[in-house]
A and B are shown apart, each in its own frame.
Chain A
């Protein structure tokens, strides 16, 4: 075996996503508990730490989704504010990284840098920030900052936001006193003194999700971890090669950015049992009502007269429709409609079956042995550096994975058996960022 002679075997990273607002959470399951009480967050975080995971990941909501002019009522909805939950989780965990999704459009650098630095101190170096942006005036209606930013400005503001936060995180001198900073750029003109010293891991870990060329460049220039959706081995290898290929232009090494797709998983005692379970879960995720909703989101028109067990609409989508608000558009409606119809025709699927088939996310489905082997293969073949697991049950959805798959990954030498360091950067094998030169007068 070559592996036994290869000390630098590539190990994978694991993170846990708290299954929140989406139609993948099976809230009708008898084991489904509160989406909001602290016990639920504590259970999942403790399970992730028991499994020696790198970090625990929270998404963000800033406006409840609306559909046909009414608040959307079919999926799990309602979630607490991420940073506050993570500060509380810092009290009940010791090593687990704590990652908050926080929007760079509806926040200001000084305040958010301070909140993130505080979490990093109070967790002794375990904080991460998943930077997201919005150009959505619908969401902006909850903020006095207002809503609208051009798509292009989203990333320039986000990039300047992250750079400004890094200046603030670096602004205390080595001897522990604040130094004045001043930043003047396209989006921010701020000056003063930051109130928090450099954090135990230098800077909080920066995570970014984004697949457009602008998003990939932003990740290559500024992120420590990139959260992706590329599910297949081939797509993952291509994405990984592309994004890592952009690092050198920013003076960064191949290992300074970790690629972690969000994935689901279903475990069974046999392959057939796992497939059957996965099918059952998908049927519960895509209820008849949810199937119609999914089609309405593409067609942009009321389809409540359709039978979800019947065929897809015979007419084309309305290109200008704004039936659904607060949800990311996944692509061109006409293109999706064409693809769905082709799928339906080819396999003889009803509307609901088509939605089930077309909207499934990357999944590892199988026995603990095959899932461990597949995940390991993804990582050793450079399709990813690890995974952010998205369970379909709150809060016990990670229990089986940690009890069965993690030990097998550990036996293979593909995953740590103990934390080797205390900070999230140490778990991810990321260097502590060098102190920026950056204080007064450092920016244009």
Chain B
């Protein structure tokens, strides 16, 4: 499928570059509601353990009840965390947002981050991203570990669940410093509304690209020009196909910095996005405002209407979940398929 054949997806970062994030909820709520008014697919919120600011997943959980449609995609790193905690927290974000959770998987590269935990040293990017792929893999397995209809509430037999529909995942992976790790499963959380929350990976860096091709639903690519973005998309799709995935299940968005000091710049941005879309650069755009408080309002009031007039942006959300917005089907649980297959 060419990038051109569908209207572009649109997402926006809520981060304030270079400044600590606010520590109260109001600014995030205001920005996310603004993004929702612009019918954007999702908002992202970055996170590291060393940049002053609150925990991103917590912030977007706090935002969830104040919004109804916009997707919520926090960054959660995989290097020093427990995969089980990461998986259940993202899974819970999907429950509290009623199917709007995503997860931007990232890695912690620096000795400074490692020193905050004191458990393992920093590791090279390749090893960090291989570990991130393992963590994304086991998270997906944990999300599938309860079949959708596992809760039966069968009063006659006294059984709350059908335990044949819950599965140990028995995952074995390798950490970034080379030790094996294992996760037994199943999750403690029932399968969430989207089946699996949407996994986002910034695939700009070579070391992250394999992980994105293997595990991401949405890959972000930072590119200076449409040709570079197009090439990255082509490569990601090819690699996904080699890994046995349907490349049409992977959305590639160009991640662009934007600065809209004047209203006219918002209309200019619409022209630029239209040109990039015509050049088949990607499946859509992830915009990173220089100043979200200023730029997001201009984006929604200036760029969004211009794109709508050109038929490049919907006027209403097509569904209620982030997967609906992205045109990604709700995946079937892998263990259900295995069990049914064995039975037949």
A and B: interacting chains:
yes
Within 8 A of A (CB), among B20-68: 20, 23-25, 29, 49-55, 57-59, 61-66
Within 8 A of B (CB), among A204-223: none
Task: Report how many A-B pairs have Cβ atoms within 8 Å.
Answer: 179
A142/B184 in contact, CB under 8 A: yes
Chain A residue contacts of B189, Cβ below 8 A: 36, 78-81
B89/A81 in contact, CB under 8 A: yes
> Given that A142-B84, A188-B118, A195-B50 are contacting pairs, would A124 and B24 also be in contact in the complex, using a CB cutoff of 8 Å?
yes
Contact of B62 among A71, A75, A76, A91 (CB under 8 A): A91
Within 8 A of A (CB), among B194-228: none
If over half of A's interface residues share one DSSP class (helix, strand or loop), that class is named, otherwise mixed; here it is loop
Q: B255 an interface residue at 8 Å Cβ cutoff?
A: no
B97 to chain A, nearest CB (A): 8
If over half of B's interface residues share one DSSP class (helix, strand or loop), that class is named, otherwise mixed; here it is mixed
Q: B312 an interface residue at 8 Å Cβ cutoff?
A: no
B95/A80 in contact, CB under 8 A: yes
Within 8 A of B (CB), among A160-195: 178, 188-193, 195
> Given that A88-B65, A118-B54, A192-B115 are contacting pairs, would A77 and B161 also be in contact in the complex, using a CB cutoff of 8 Å?
yes
Contact of A144 among B55, B83, B158 (CB under 8 A): B83
A145/B82 in contact, CB under 8 A: yes
Contact of B186 among A71, A75, A115, A193 (CB under 8 A): A71
A85/B158 in contact, CB under 8 A: no
Chain B residue contacts of A62, Cβ below 8 A: 84, 188
A399 to chain B, nearest CB (A): 21
Smallest Cβ-Cβ distance to B193: which chain A residue: A37
Stretch at the interface among B149-157, B274-282, B297-305, B330-338: B149-157
Chain B residue contacts of A107, Cβ below 8 A: 82, 85
Chain A residue contacts of B54, Cβ below 8 A: 117-118, 121-122, 195-196
A81/B23 in contact, CB under 8 A: no
Smallest Cβ-Cβ distance to A284: which chain B residue: B155
Q: A419 an interface residue at 8 Å Cβ cutoff?
A: no
Complexed CA–CA distance, A87 and B183 (Å): 26
B58/A73 in contact, CB under 8 A: no
Q: A110 an interface residue at 8 Å Cβ cutoff?
A: yes
Contact of B55 among A73, A114, A189 (CB under 8 A): A114
B65/A192 in contact, CB under 8 A: no
Smallest Cβ-Cβ distance to B170: which chain A residue: A141
B184/A63 in contact, CB under 8 A: yes
Within 8 A of A (CB), among B86-119: 88-89, 91-93, 95-98, 112-113, 115-119
Q: B81 an interface residue at 8 Å Cβ cutoff?
A: yes
Q: B75 an interface residue at 8 Å Cβ cutoff?
A: no
Chain A residue contacts of B66, Cβ below 8 A: 91
> Given that A107-B85, A197-B23 are contacting pairs, would A144 and B175 also be in contact in the complex, using a CB cutoff of 8 Å?
yes
A54 to chain B, nearest CB (A): 21
Smallest Cβ-Cβ distance to A36: which chain B residue: B190
A144/B182 in contact, CB under 8 A: yes
Smallest Cβ-Cβ distance to A108: which chain B residue: B117
Chain A residue contacts of B24, Cβ below 8 A: 121-122, 124
Contact of B160 among A27, A79, A80, A288 (CB under 8 A): A27
Q: B146 an interface residue at 8 Å Cβ cutoff?
A: yes
A75/B88 in contact, CB under 8 A: no
B118/A189 in contact, CB under 8 A: yes
Smallest Cβ-Cβ distance to A111: which chain B residue: B81
Encode contact with B along A217-260: 1 for CB under 8 Å, 0 otherwise. 00000000000000000000000000000000000000000000
Chain A residue contacts of B57, Cβ below 8 A: 84
Chain A residue contacts of B88, Cβ below 8 A: 80-81
B158/A38 in contact, CB under 8 A: no
Smallest Cβ-Cβ distance to B184: which chain A residue: A141
Contact of A74 among B55, B160, B166, B182 (CB under 8 A): B160
Chain B residue contacts of A119, Cβ below 8 A: 58
Within 8 A of A (CB), among B113-153: 113, 115-119, 146, 151, 153
B18 to chain A, nearest CB (A): 15
Chain A residue contacts of B52, Cβ below 8 A: 178, 193, 195-196
B59/A73 in contact, CB under 8 A: no
Q: A267 an interface residue at 8 Å Cβ cutoff?
A: no
> Given that A37-B95, A118-B58, A190-B118 are contacting pairs, would A71 and B84 also be in contact in the complex, using a CB cutoff of 8 Å?
no
30 A–B contacts from the bound complex (CB under 8 Å): A28-B155, A38-B65, A38-B95, A38-B98, A64-B186, A64-B188, A73-B160, A77-B160, A84-B93, A85-B96, A87-B62, A88-B65, A91-B29, A91-B64, A91-B65, A107-B82, A108-B119, A111-B80, A114-B55, A118-B55, A141-B183, A142-B185, A144-B83, A144-B175, A144-B181, A144-B182, A144-B183, A178-B52, A195-B20, A195-B54
Chain A residues within 8 Å of B, Cβ to Cβ: 27-28, 36-38, 42, 61-64, 70-81, 83-85, 87-88, 90-92, 106-108, 110-111, 114-115, 117-119, 121-122, 124, 141-145, 178, 188-193, 195-197, 287-290
